[in-house]
Structure formats: structure tokens, C-alpha cells
Amino acid sequence: MALKDTIDAGIKQAMLAKDKVRLTALRSIKSQILLAETAEGASATGLSADQELKLLNKAAKQRRESAATYKEQFRSDLEETELAELAIIEEFLPQQLSEGELVETLVGIIQRVGAKGPSDLGKVMGVAARELSGKADGKRISDVVNMLLNNTDF
């Protein structure tokens, strides 16, 4: 079942259950899907699975950043709403890698590309971003790669 169909079914269930937070989050995703489908240069067959994944990751990242901003501004009411919507969006994302799995995978990538130190960050990030797309957040990947390249005893 395509993401759009799954979202439509979820919207109907949220409406019946009168779950406003879930309804808002799902409508937001559907809106982004429709915008992506009608964008100039979009394919007539709809979004690919990769495009859907990127769209969901973007939505999740927006919610995380908004929640962090609201936390800094001591707006816990808005922060809670963003985190609730983030949890709903994450239901549609693939399972994220654990910290240990991420480190193990990145060590393998670093060894494979022959990175020796912090100056090789770009080389490692290019491969890591491609291979771990959807499995880990880009900032999380970057932080772990930086840590690993600065502690080169792996």
C-alpha cells in the first residue's frame, strides 16, 4: 500500500476517533505528499518509496527542530504538540539504527573509504548519508563520524 493510501486510511481513523493531534499530523503529511506530486517536474506515476522516505524524514526533522525551539523558549505546551506529531510521523519511518549499530556501520564505512582523520569527514559523510538514508538522522550520523574521526583508534 502506498504511503498516500496509508495516510488517507489513518486520517479516516483519526476522524472517527476524534484524535486531533493524529489528524493534524497526518493531514500535514498528506499536504506535503500532494505538494510533492504536483511540483514542477514531478513524475506522473506519483512518488517513489525513496521520495516518500525523504518527505517523512523532512517532516520529522521539522518537528524535532520546532520542539527544540519551543523548549528553549519555555513553551512546553507547543513542544508537547510537536513531539506528539513527531511520534506519529515516526510510525511511518523505518526503524532507526541503535547507537551501537550506527557506530559499527560507520566504522566499517570509515575503513572502507580509507579515512584517516577529521579532514576526511566529507568523504565519509557522502557514503554514510547514501547508505544510511532513512536509518539514522543526518545530524546523528555527522556527530558519530566526527567523534570517530577525532578518536582514530578504531
150 confidence band (pLDDT: 50, 70, 90): confident
Q: Does 39 or 78 have the greater pLDDT score?
A: 78
Provide CATH code, domain 99-150: 1.10.10.410
Q: Which grid cell sits at 85?
A: 506529531
Nine-digit cell at 28? 500535514
Number of H helices, E strands in the chain: 7, 0
Fold of 3-90: Hypothetical Protein Yqey; Chain: A; domain1 (1.10.1510)
Q: How far apart are CA 63 and CA 41, in angstroms?
A: 27
CA distance 119 to 8: 46
Domain residues of the chain, as ranges? 3-90, 99-150
Summarised one tens digit per residue, pLDDT across range 4-23 is 899 999 999 999 999 999 99
pTM greater than 0.75 = no
Q: What is the mean pLDDT of residues 59-86?
A: 94
